[in-house]
Structure 1
Amino acid sequence: MGGFRFSFNLLGLDSRAALVETCRQGERYGYDTVFAADHLGMPAPFPALVAAAAATERLRVGTLVLNAPFWNPALLAREVATTDVLTDGRLELGLGAGHMKWEFDEAGILWEPFGARADRLEATIDELARLFAADGYEQQAALREAMGLPALAPVQRHGFGGSGPPLLIGGTGDRILRVAAERADIVGIAGTYQVKGQPPGTFRLATAAETDERVRYARECAGERADEVEWQVLVQIVLETKDRRAAAEELSERFGRALSAGEILETPFVLIGTVDEMAERILRYRERFGFTYYTVHGSYMEAFAPVIERVRAVKADA
């Protein structure tokens, strides 16, 4: 297992100035990456990431995660390559199968069964790899030569079989985790389960025991490359408190007892406690699950910053 990395999600956009300050503050706090989501009503990911990289010196940028069925692979390849060039090779490309039916409906995109969406994800990865590896389009070769134009291609040659930026795939089910384990540089354990009988996109968090099983399955699928993969987790709640049990009881009640207070205290998708207690949990989860890449939602960026500092201080002393 490698060292820790920490990241936060950009979910809203008030102004360019606010985006710039948020990203610069994240960099000052010690975050490694800023992610953009791919949801209607939220900022378009690639322009936001270009702006984030321009505002900072070292912060990497990424998508967490793109809904593959939203994207034509050829047009997506153009977006990815352009963004990788404009961010000086700081892009991490996260892909998923999509899970919010209402977004598909609003966008006029056919909502297909999960198997078809998973097929589309795999086909998108294949086509991106092909396009990234090609030396531009043959149909433009004469034009490029006549005008001295470079072929548009990613700066990074790490993911996609050595032809593109690092690939992150996130999910919970067998199919997506298998694809992630076999093909991604970063495997995101999503930690959410569809609530039976509820509309698509109605989730509950995974318990620690369920996470054990999901990580075990993904590592088995990864085989010999399991220790080369970076294991990422999206923490849904960060709550600093001196009374972990009382806070967990309150959260359990708020979310309809989908998880008990004890399960909330153990799940890696919620961090509750003092800064030291949360840092200790992260170190413990590294040993238990292998998680070394932590993402928090932007609203928790400030609250989580002291935990980052504490984790790194403990690792430096070890």
Structure 2
Amino acid sequence: MSTRGIRFGVNFREADLDDWPRYCRDTERLGYDTLLAPDHLGHPAPFGMLAAAAAATDHIRLGTMVLNNEFWNPALLAREAATVDRISRGRLELGLGLGHMKSEFETAGIPWRGHADRLAALERTLGELDRFLVDGGPGHGPAQRPRPPLLIGGHGEATLRLAARRADIIGFGGLVQRRGAPMGVFHVEGPDDVLRRVDFVREQAGGRLAGLEFNVLVQNVTVTDDAERAAAGLAAEYGAESGLGTAADVLASPFVLVGTAGEIAAEITANRDRYGFDYVCTHGEHRDALARVIPEVRRLEEAAGRSDPSR
């Protein structure tokens, strides 16, 4: 069970480039700890957005959620990461994954490879990043030493095994490719499956476990006085095959937060105790809703003596 304070992040996903500095400052003002950039075609380039965010803000950390490793040459990736980390005075968190949207590979003209090949490539990249970032000389490497914190996101055992051995932050997104459906159509894992994956990482991490953060990417945040009604509406919207086909499924899921700000805060702290989720992120369209919950979580942490004095 984690004893550190809970952190909060926004994966901005959609961004108004003309209003980006204000968005970054507002996110920092709302109490978020991290502003995160996705890595999908059709979205702005992640490191350019993070460099601009660094200039617009004072202390919020900046991360990628998560980079598609197949899109990046390790040497060039290390250069981008080191530059943003130095510009931001040591605020970068580097998130990496295997890439799962086959259509994006086709659009970019990059060969789509099987899971085992993509995983092996990610492991090679980690070794190369250590070489380029950790061994980079003064003025060339990142501000954070030996390198910025590394987040690896995934759900398969092979990916989670690698993350448990190499990452500082383990990302649990909860979305699994739906069998028989077109690539990019997902099923949301239920609580028991999530707990099995969490326990697997705990076992694989061994002595590293105490230093790891567990990140959860929340897909929806709905602040309401009528959680049952809102959950029923979301279940109808998601559909039975999503894994969130009933109101009970929605209310039990750690990837969907529904209720009053106080109820959601209590759920977040309960999920921290059950799953170890001490780093809670959501997508940009739910930023303002989750911001209403953050003060409630901070109050619960302070009452329990678990608040982070460095925040």
Identity %: 49
User: Are 1:193 and 2:193 matched, yes or no?
Assistant: no
Give the Cα separation in 2 of the matches to 1:300 and 1:11: 11
Give the Cα separation in 1 of the matches to 2:248 and 2:207: 35
Counterpart of 1:291 (choices 269, 277, 284) is 277
- The answer on whether the counterparts of 2:133 and 2:141 sit within 8 Å (CA) in structure 1 is yes
- The answer on whether the counterparts of 2:265 and 2:296 sit within 8 Å (CA) in structure 1 is yes
Task: Note the C-alpha offset of 1:135.
Answer: 4.1
Counterpart of 1:3 (choices 2, 5, 10) is 5
Larger radius of gyration: 1
- The answer on whether the counterparts of 1:37 and 1:64 sit within 8 Å (CA) in structure 2 is yes
User: Are 1:178 and 2:180 matched, yes or no?
Assistant: no
Task: Note the C-alpha offset of 1:226.
Answer: 1.3
Task: Note the C-alpha offset of 1:14.
Answer: 2.0
Letter in 1 for 2:108: A
Q: Which residue of 1 aligns with 2:17?
A: 15
Task: Note the C-alpha offset of 1:120.
Answer: 0.9
CA displacement, residues 21-69 of structure 1 (integer Å, 9 cap, x when unaligned): 1111111111000000000010100010011111111011000000001
Counterpart of 1:239 (choices 202, 222, 227) is 222
Give the Cα separation in 2 of the matches to 1:303 and 1:264: 17
User: Are 1:97 and 2:83 matched, yes or no?
Assistant: no
Give the Cα separation in 2 of the matches to 1:97 and 1:51: 26
Give the Cα separation in 1 of the matches to 2:193 and 2:249: 11
Q: Which residue of 2 aligns with 1:302?
A: 288
User: Are 1:262 and 2:248 matched, yes or no?
Assistant: yes
Task: Note the C-alpha offset of 1:317.
Answer: 2.1
Give the Cα separation in 1 of the matches to 2:48 and 2:275: 34
- The answer on whether the counterparts of 1:230 and 1:292 sit within 8 Å (CA) in structure 2 is yes
Q: Which residue of 2 aligns with 1:160?
A: none
Task: Note the C-alpha offset of 1:132.
Answer: 1.5
Q: Which residue of 2 aligns with 1:46?
A: 47
Give the Cα separation in 2 of the matches to 1:66 and 1:269: 21
Please, which moves more after superposition, 62-71 or 191-200? 191-200
Give the Cα separation in 1 of the matches to 2:256 and 2:233: 13
- Structure with the bigger RCO (C-alpha within 8 Å, sep 6+) is 2
- The answer on whether the counterparts of 1:185 and 1:229 sit within 8 Å (CA) in structure 2 is yes
- The answer on whether the counterparts of 1:207 and 1:264 sit within 8 Å (CA) in structure 2 is no
Structure 2 unmatched ranges of 5 or more: 305-311
Q: Which residue of 2 aligns with 1:275?
A: 261
TM-score (norm 1): 0.91
Task: Note the C-alpha offset of 1:227.
Answer: 2.0
Q: Which residue of 2 aligns with 1:145?
A: none
Over 3 Å counting, the alpha-carbon distance change for 1:314 and 1:132 in structure 2 is: same
Q: Which residue of 2 aligns with 1:155?
A: 143
Q: How many residues align?
A: 299
SS of residue in 2 equivalent to 1:42: coil
Cα root mean square deviation, aligned: 1.2
- The answer on whether the counterparts of 2:39 and 2:67 sit within 8 Å (CA) in structure 1 is yes
- The answer on whether the counterparts of 1:81 and 1:154 sit within 8 Å (CA) in structure 2 is yes
Structure 1 unmatched ranges of 5 or more: 137-149, 158-162
- The answer on whether the counterparts of 1:208 and 1:263 sit within 8 Å (CA) in structure 2 is no
SS of residue in 2 equivalent to 1:153: coil
Give the Cα separation in 2 of the matches to 1:133 and 1:271: 39
Letter in 2 for 1:264: V
Task: Note the C-alpha offset of 1:261.
Answer: 2.1
- The answer on whether the counterparts of 2:95 and 2:150 sit within 8 Å (CA) in structure 1 is yes
Give the Cα separation in 2 of the matches to 1:302 and 1:252: 22
Give the Cα separation in 1 of the matches to 2:17 and 2:301: 37
Task: Note the C-alpha offset of 1:151.
Answer: 4.8
Q: Which residue of 1 aligns with 2:75?
A: 74
CA displacement, residues 204-234 of structure 1 (integer Å, 9 cap, x when unaligned): 2111111111101111111121121011000
- The answer on whether the counterparts of 2:173 and 2:218 sit within 8 Å (CA) in structure 1 is no
Give the Cα separation in 1 of the matches to 2:184 and 2:125: 22
Letter in 2 for 1:129: D
Q: Which residue of 1 aligns with 2:308?
A: none
- The answer on whether the counterparts of 1:240 and 1:273 sit within 8 Å (CA) in structure 2 is yes
Over 3 Å counting, the alpha-carbon distance change for 1:151 and 1:21 in structure 2 is: closer
Counterpart of 1:203 (choices 181, 186, 207) is 186
